[in-house]
């Protein structure tokens, strides 16, 4: 294994999940995939994948090659990207993973504009309600909103983003406007479940005073657009990102509650596997994305 092609081959199998799926991705036949895998294992004199009729399981050695090999492949690509960039252009593929709602409303246009300005760059944008799942390390950039759990990924600030408690005017005609976070226990609330967070525990701060409130909810969803729509219909109180509710607040479809109490910020950040050795196309997209949200993000314009 004296070049990156074998490592790329193993990473393709791991991402595809089966030899047949890997064959489709690579555009070759399943027997050819099997033969090449056997050749690599013979060269290394070790088994890399335990395969049965039903599933594949990477051995410790196979997993090590994919994990550490991913960094080596990235550095290898970055070297050649930098050489190409010196000749006047960016090329290659940028794989991006981002939250559903934010990706649709704010990131998709950034991706489109960057690719238009850099026609030799291919971009694969994957939107999901679990951007930080275990597959996140297969992407060049992962966009995350909110507090970052323990991770070996490197974070870059993209845009500030507060969180507001909101409700529709119609709801406030039926229930009293809450004066403290504790009053939320008496109101119907709507919960967004994402990133494996404790979604019904809402936390607030006012000066040095903190409050944690366990809200009750008859409605919950993993899609922020659905949660916001229910709130606009007067079905309950929501705790949502500023980027998501700014337009509804401006139009009066939602009203901000408890403005004196601050919920934790949920800033927008971009995550990469490494700080050094990023391909030129990845670095340029990162800068492009940061520039599009300055000096103020669109939800604060």
What distance in Å separates the CA atoms of residue 295 and residue 157, rounded to the nearest whole number? 13
What is the pTM for the complete model shown?
0.70
Q: Could you list the pLDDT tens digit for every one of the 301 residues in the chain?
A: 446 788 888 888 888 888 888 888 888 888 898 898 988 888 888 889 887 656 788 888 888 888 888 777 777 776 766 666 655 567 888 999 999 999 999 999 999 999 999 998 999 999 988 777 766 667 899 999 988 776 778 889 999 999 999 999 999 999 999 999 999 999 999 999 876 678 889 999 999 999 999 998 999 998 899 999 999 999 999 999 999 999 999 999 999 999 999 999 999 999 987 766 788 889 899 999 999 998 899 999 7
Domains detected in the chain: 5-71 (1.10.10.10), 89-161+267-300 (3.40.190.10), 163-263 (3.40.190.290)
What distance in Å separates the CA atoms of residue 14 and residue 20, rounded to the nearest whole number? 12
What distance in Å separates the CA atoms of residue 199 and residue 69, rounded to the nearest whole number? 37
What distance in Å separates the CA atoms of residue 183 and residue 195, rounded to the nearest whole number? 26
What distance in Å separates the CA atoms of residue 25 and residue 9, rounded to the nearest whole number? 10
What distance in Å separates the CA atoms of residue 14 and residue 22, rounded to the nearest whole number? 8
What distance in Å separates the CA atoms of residue 238 and residue 193, rounded to the nearest whole number? 12
């Amino acid at each position: 294994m004296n070049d990156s092609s074998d490592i790329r081959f193993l990473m393709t199998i791991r991402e595809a999940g089966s030899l047949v799926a890997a064959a489709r991705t690579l555009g070759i036949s399943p027997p050819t995939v099997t033969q090449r895998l056997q050749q690599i294992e013979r060269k290394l004199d070790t088994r890399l994948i335990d395969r049965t009729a039903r599933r594949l399981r990477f051995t410790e050695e196979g997993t090590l090659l994919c994990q550490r090999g991913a960094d080596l492949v990235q550095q290898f690509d970055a070297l050649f990207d930098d050489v190409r960039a010196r000749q006047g252009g960016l090329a290659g593929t940028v794989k991006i993973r981002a939250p559903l709602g934010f990706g649709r409303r704010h990131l998709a246009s950034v991706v489109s504009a960057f690719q238009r300005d850099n026609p030799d760059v291919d971009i694969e944008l994957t939107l999901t309600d679990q951007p930080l799942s275990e597959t996140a390390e297969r992407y060049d950039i992962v966009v995350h909103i909110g507090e970052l759990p323990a991770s070996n990924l490197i974070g870059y600030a993209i845009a500030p983003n507060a969180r507001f408690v909101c409700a529709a005017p119609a709801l406030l005609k039926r229930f009293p406007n809450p004066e403290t976070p504790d009053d939320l226990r008496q109101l119907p609330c709507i919960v967004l479940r994402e990133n494996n967070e404790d979604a019904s525990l809402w936390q607030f701060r006012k000066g040095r005073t903190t409050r944690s409130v366990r809200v009750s909810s008859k409605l919950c969803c993993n899609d922020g657009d659905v949660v916001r729509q229910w709130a606009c219909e007067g079905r309950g109180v929501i705790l949502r990102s500023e980027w998501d509710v700014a337009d509804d607040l401006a139009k009066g479809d939602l009203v901000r509650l408890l403005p004196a109490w601050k919920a934790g910020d949920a800033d927008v950040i971009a995550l990469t596997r490494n700080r050094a050795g990023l391909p030129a196309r990845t670095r340029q997209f990162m800068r492009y994305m940061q520039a599009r949200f300055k000096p103020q993000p669109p939800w604060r314009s």
